[in-house]
Structure 1
Amino acid sequence: MLCGGTSKAQPATAQTQRIADQVKAQIEAKENKTYPVFQAVEFKSQVVAGTNYFIKVHVGDEAFVHLRVFESLPHENKPPSLTSYQVDKAKGDQLTYF
C-alpha cells in the first residue's frame, strides 16, 4: 500500500459488515429508499487521520452501491459516517477512490 493510498480490494469481513450496517440508515435516508439486502462483499481502506473505507455492498437483485465511510480515531469516540456513495453499480464494477 502506498502512503496515503488505498489498500487492494479484499473480501468483506465481519468488521466491514459492522461498519456498513452503521451507515445503512444514512444512505437509505439520502436515497429515500429501504434496502432489503445490505451485504458488504468487498472493501478497500485508506489510513488518514482515521480510516476511510470504500465498501461494495449488495443491496438486492443485481444491484450494488459503493460507500465511502470515515471511521475516526478511537479516542474521538465518534460513530462511522457516510461521506460519499455511488448507486447503480454492478457486481463487476471495481471499487475506486471517489
Structure 2
Amino acid sequence: MMAGGLSESRPATEEIQNMVDAVKSQFQKKSNEECTEFKAVSYKSQVVAGSMYYVKVHTGNNKYIHLKIFEPLPHTNAPLELMDYQCGKTKNEDIAYF
C-alpha cells in the first residue's frame, strides 16, 4: 500500500464492526436516519496521523452506506469520530476515497 493511499478492500472484521457500532449514534444524528440494521460488510483503510477507515455498511432493506471513520493515535485517548458518510450506495459499489 502506498503511504497515505487506500488499502485494498477487505471483509469486515469484528474490530471493524465494533468501530461501526461506536459511531452509529453519530451517523444517525448527522443523517437524521434510523437504521434497521448496521452491519459492516467491507472496508479500506488509510494511514494518516492515526487511521482512517472507509466502511461499507448494510443498513437493511438492500440499502448500503459508506462511512469514513477516524481512529486517532492511541496516545491521544481521543474517541473514534465519524468524519463523513455517503448514503444511497449499492452492495456491489466499490468503496472509494471521499
Q: 1: CA distance between counterparts of 2:83 and 2:62?
A: 24
Q: Percent identical across equivalent pairs?
A: 46
Runs of 4+ in 1 over 6 A off after TM superposition: none
RMSD value, Cα: 0.6
Q: Does 1:22 align with 2:22?
A: yes
Q: Does 1:83 align with 2:83?
A: yes
Q: Does 1:12 align with 2:38?
A: no
Q: 2: CA distance between counterparts of 1:5 and 1:59?
A: 27
For 1:39-79, what per-residue CA distance to the aligned partner results, in whole angstroms no more than 9, with x for missing partners?
A: 00000000110000000000001100000000000010111
Q: Say how many residue pairs are matched.
A: 98
Q: 2: CA distance between counterparts of 1:33 and 1:43?
A: 22
2:2 — aligned with what?
Answer: 2
Gaps of 5+ in 1: none
Gaps of 5+ in 2: none
Normalising by the residue count of structure 1, what TM-score does the alignment of the two structures yield? 0.98
Q: Does 1:55 align with 2:55?
A: yes
Q: State the one-letter code of the partner of 2:45.
A: S
Normalising by the residue count of structure 2, what TM-score does the alignment of the two structures yield? 0.98
